Amino acid sequence: MHEADWIIIDTETTGFIAPIFVVEVGAQRMRGWVPVGEPFRRLVNQNQDIPPEASRVHGYTREILERDGEPPAVVYEELRRYALGLPMVAYNLEYDLEKVLKPEWSGLGIVPMGRDGFCALRLAQRLLDPVPAGNCKLQTLRQYYRLPERGAHTALGDVLTVADLFSQVLRPIAEQRGLTTWEAIKAYAEDEWYPSRIAFGKHKGKSIHDARHNPELRQWVEWLASSTNARSASMGRWYLKLLEAEPNLTSDAVLVATESAAASSDPMPRGEGIVLYVHPGIERLRGLIAGSRARLAELEAAYTSLRNHVAALQARLFQRLRRHFEERDRLRLVVNYRRTFLDTLLREGEEGVEQVREDYRQADAHTQQEYADTGAAMESKRALSDSEESELKALWRELVKLFHPDRFADDPEKQATYTNLTAAINAAKDNGDLATLRLIAHDPMGYVMRQGWTAIELGDSDELEQLQKLFNSLEAEIIAVIEATDTLKESPDYELHQIMEKKPEMFDQVIEQQIAGVEAEITDLKTTALQLAKEIEELSGTDAGIGLG
């Protein structure tokens, strides 16, 4: 493998719906497990509009591509010279090569370049199985293993992250398994394989290895193997062969990180021996749990800080725009119910319109209450100071060490208390309520008793099974926070927050633009509302009693 030359490639496109056009191509030549030479990156000007949902992900617009992009024929000729006919690897080979690049080359009359390598995603899924990060999304693995941030959702950034993943995470595992040649790795990635953790059905989340001592799970696997569905039957037969091939693997075998990580504050190790099947002792597993708790606290604190900053900006916008939005929504309601009034009057006569008036009054009261509630909530939204953010992070680290519902999965009453306590902590965190977090951290037992919940236990369980459940749950929560952070960063609200961070002077400009748009809509709504009022009066000889005049 060390002498093998190959290339990692990735694309950004106009979306997943045909016709698909490439807007960016990124590539990196590799020798063995490490990058060689400078990477390749080109923007492609296809003279196509970019759907907003795609632009929000990778940041490219038609204007940017017309300014900085090159014609596709030019880009692909440069890529051909860079690729040197090497085998191509992508993190989703079927998509990038088969569904994007090859069809585009065909449409342009370009002879396909390079050779098919293997899918890096399939290799990662198999080498990391059962995936400690919860899933094998590239950015999830990057954050889980703390790889460098390279520019998420850009072709070059993703290529460089794949290169980091190969050199720092996948290489030691592959070498430990004797995968030392290009041919062996390619075959390993392409072999028939299914994840050891069941991802669907009533046994979702269970390890297939549990079928050795779980008759119900074993029966399910045998049923799967006899399915009339070819893919299901193939999966079932593969699982049966696995169970027969590894008869000594016991059900308490778990996927853990290196022993050094268990003793450190960094639960996301890098380097040799990252993922192994071992039989951990209780102390080692408790070390992993401590590391996961610290990691979860760190991620939660960062996510909360980010969300609070976004919410604080939204609160400022709401306060400045509330009067305009309230007027617009009031007029929308008036127009809607005046139209309903007219329709009812023509269908049912005057007998039916009183109910329309009552429905309008209720809807109007509800809208006013919603604005009042939102206004009250927004008044409490503000960005935390640096010292408050630091305290929040410290409190979260302490609280995550102490509380988790899965600690008492076999005791529903105690688990309910931990669930309630976790919910209270989450609510306080979401609202920036440091007073409640301080209270819980200072006197958790007193807080629980004042709520009338069952008393909690602050000591750690020494039961291996319970510790394993706790570790798995913490890892799942880590992934959930990572994904929530990614979702937030892809939202329009975050995009606006980033703009305001860089150019705070634009705030008034944004407000003016928003007001201009809303005022234009208000003008149209007023005109429509007056026309409807006039029509109602002409038909019924009286005012509808819906809105003013």
For residue 96, CA distances in Å to 15, 121, 329, 442 come to 12, 12, 45, 53
Q: What is the pTM of this model?
A: 0.60
Instruction: Report the alpha-carbon distance of residue 282 to residue 288 in Å, rounded.
Output: 10
pLDDT category of residue 400 using cuts at 50, 70 and 90? low
Mean pLDDT of 291-306: 78
Antiparallel, parallel or unpaired: β 87-90 and 115-119: parallel
Residues facing 90 on adjacent strands:
119
- When pLDDT is cut at 50, 70 and 90, the band that residue 21 belongs to is very high
Domain ranges of the chain: 5-190
Q: What is the mean pLDDT of residues 342-368?
A: 84
What is the overall mean pLDDT for the chain? Answer: 80
pLDDT value of position 247: 55
Residue-wise pLDDT for 131-140, tens only, equals 776 678 888 8
Query: CA dihedral defined by 431, 434, 438, 441, rounded to 10 degrees?
Result: 40
pLDDT band of residue 258 (cuts 50, 70, 90) is: very low
pLDDT interval class at 263 (50, 70, 90): very low
Spatial contact of 12 and 58, defined as CB atoms under 8 Å apart: yes
Buried b (16+ CB within 10 A) or exposed e, 288-310: bbbbbbbbbbbbbbbbbbbbbbb
More confident residue, 156 or 498: 156
Listed in sequence order, the DSSP H helices in 208-281 are 215-225, 230-245, 259-262
pLDDT digits (tens, 9 = 90+) for 487-533: 888 888 888 888 888 888 888 888 888 889 889 999 999 999 999 98
Architecture of domain 5-190: 2-Layer Sandwich (3.30)
Q: Chain-centre distance of CA 542, in angstroms?
A: 55
When mean pLDDT is compared over 165-179, 236-250, 288-302, 368-382, the highest value belongs to 165-179
269, pLDDT greater than 50: no
Q: Which of 64-68, 279-283, 374-378, 476-480 has the highest mean pLDDT?
A: 64-68
- The lowest-confidence range among 250-259, 325-334, 340-349 is 250-259
